[in-house]
Amino acid sequence: MQYNKVEICGVNTSKLKVLTEKEKMELLRRVKEGDTKAREDLINGNLRLVLSVIQRFTNRGENLDDLFQVGCIGLIKAIDHFDISQGVRFSTYGVPMIIGEIRRYLRDNNSIRVSRSLRDTAYKAMQAKEKMTAQNNREPTIDEIAKELELPREDIVLALESIAEPVSLYEPVFSDGGDTIYVMDQVGDNNDDSNWLDEIALKEAIRDLNNREKRILSMRFFQGKTQMEVASEIGISQAQVSRLEKAALDKIKKDI
């Protein structure tokens, strides 16, 4: 069994204990005092948290037992470094730690080998990004990260791109409820004589759209914004954006 397997690393996940926030804080207080039994109870009481996190990575073909063990390492690190005086929930701190540990494992075991120095730069950049996002309530730019780390912008870009996971050609990029468009559908052969004809037809079809439809498609598929973000910027509802987007795509399909 994989996705819904009950036993992981010999642990029956259906019987995992769930601690209340009050119980967690009490155990954390005892852990800080050196109580090893409390540390063990806290680990066992948060295994369901690890389980919930690894569900996000089940579509990568990784062994769940391995991911669970790595997630437990992240949990232990979170317990050992958690500051009870900060007044935040343990899960708020623990989940990013567990995710980070799993992501490091996946990157280090990637079939595409990346130099250690490049990975170190990437990890520092991600840590700086997380810190600056928390401080400024927005994601920093590449230039801001480079300035924070006192490194050239090019080094930051290269490092972050080196650890980006390869995208499958069968990764879906859009679906309007009918035919799904995959990455491979957007990969063309520049030597194909029919490509320039298709490009002309597409441009003609887009030209026939009204300004609002063009703007919505541009924001959605060229700027990568969500329908909610588009709705907020344009000043209409998400449902209207969805309807206008679908209508525009239908017009293009009909024209070409």
Per-residue pLDDT at 170 exceeds 80: no
Summarize pLDDT for 68-115 with one digit per residue, the tens.
889 899 999 999 888 888 878 888 888 888 988 888 887 766 655 556
Summarize pLDDT for 136-152 with one digit per residue, the tens.
888 888 889 999 999 99
CATH number, domain of 46, equals 1.20.120.1810
Buried b (16+ CB within 10 A) or exposed e, 57-93: beeeebebeebbebbbbbbbebbeebeeeeeeebbee
Summarize pLDDT for 7-64 with one digit per residue, the tens.
566 666 667 778 888 899 999 999 989 999 999 999 988 888 888 888 877 766 677 8
**Beta strands, E only, the chain:** 7-8, 11-12, 172-175, 180-182
pLDDT reported for residue 11: 66
pLDDT reported for residue 9: 61
Same domain assignment for residues 100 and 127: no
Same domain assignment for residues 182 and 100: no
Range of the domain at 131: 111-166
Same domain assignment for residues 162 and 229: no
Name the domain count of the chain.
3
pLDDT reported for residue 1: 37
Same domain assignment for residues 128 and 150: yes
pLDDT reported for residue 182: 57
pLDDT bin (cut points 50, 70, 90) of residue 2 is very low
| 3-state class (DSSP) for residue 140 | coil
Summarize pLDDT for 105-140 with one digit per residue, the tens.
877 666 555 567 777 888 888 888 888 888 888 888
Calculate ∠ Cα 137-143-149, nearest 5°.
85
